[in-house]
Amino acid sequence: MQTTDHTRAHRYTVLAKHAHEYRADLEIKRSNFLGFALRVENETQAREFITSLRKRYHDARHVCSAFVIGADRDIQRSSDDGEPAGTAGIPMLQAILARDTAQKAPISDICVVVVRYFGGLKLGAGGLTRAYSEAVTHVLDSSEFLLRQKLLCAKLPVSHAFVGQRDHEIRHLGFHIIDTEYDAEKAYMSVGVTAEKVEYLKECIAHISAGEESLSWDGSIWVDTP
């Protein structure tokens, strides 16, 4: 489960559910804007989601999109899908990038799509820009988010008899148990810890084990937390 990467960010915000699209609809001057958001892990998943909505709403005038991927938000794409240049995709992308959340961390790993059914009244460039931006804001307002954190992985060897006790103690201290592996002699607990709490974890383990147990380090992992 452990991984090592070279991203600069150590935390960002993600949609709470995998494979679950969020939706919110908006009507402006008789045009219907159907807003969708999905958590994605890569550009392929984002484009598959966009394609699926194009097929689902094949009779719509426009299916515009934007997505942001990666802890450092290094992948950013958008599409106007036939709307005047710069009136749909870019405003949608900017609505994601400007979004503030309870976690106070930037949103990433997200694809948003706005399906437009034209109602007969032209909105003008300014009206379109506001409408597509508002549609994304609307769907983000109806979405649930989690904080995704990069944790260092500490390995803690524990005798089989103390696994349950250590699990309870470590979780009670606020640390994340990633998994526990066993061999014939020991259990090896993987504990996730943020960089700023490494020394605190070391002190806690020394205290609860009376100095009998010590940590080793095994890369890092990204974990979703409430």
Mean pLDDT for the stretch of residues 30-43: 96
Q: How many CB atoms lie within 10 A of CB 55?
A: 8
Tell me what pLDDT residue 120 has.
80
Same domain, 104 and 158: no
Residue 7: pLDDT over 80 = no
pLDDT of 1 reads 45
Which pLDDT band, with edges at 50, 70 and 90, does 101 fall under? confident
Kindly report the pTM of this predicted structure: 0.85
Report residue 102's pLDDT band, with 50, 70 and 90 as the boundaries: low
Instruction: Looking at the structure, tell me whether residues 161 and 189 fall in a common domain.
Output: yes
pLDDT value at 2 more than 60: no
Tell which residue, 138, 110, 143, 115, has the closest CA to residue 53: 115
Task: Give me the pLDDT at residue 160, please.
Answer: 95
In a domain, 6, yes or no: no
Q: Is residue 182 assigned to a domain? A: yes
CA–CA distance, 96 with 187 (Å, rounded to integer)? 43
The mean pLDDT value for 1-18 works out to 77
Looking at the 3D structure of the chain, how many domains does it have? 2
Q: Is residue 11 part of a domain?
A: no
Q: Indicate whether 197 and 102 sit together in one domain.
A: no
12, containing H or E segment: strand 11-15
> What is the reported pLDDT for 182?
95
Tens digits of per-residue pLDDT, 145-169? 999 999 999 999 999 999 999 999 9
Domain span at 180: 147-225
Q: Percent of the chain, pLDDT > 70?
A: 96
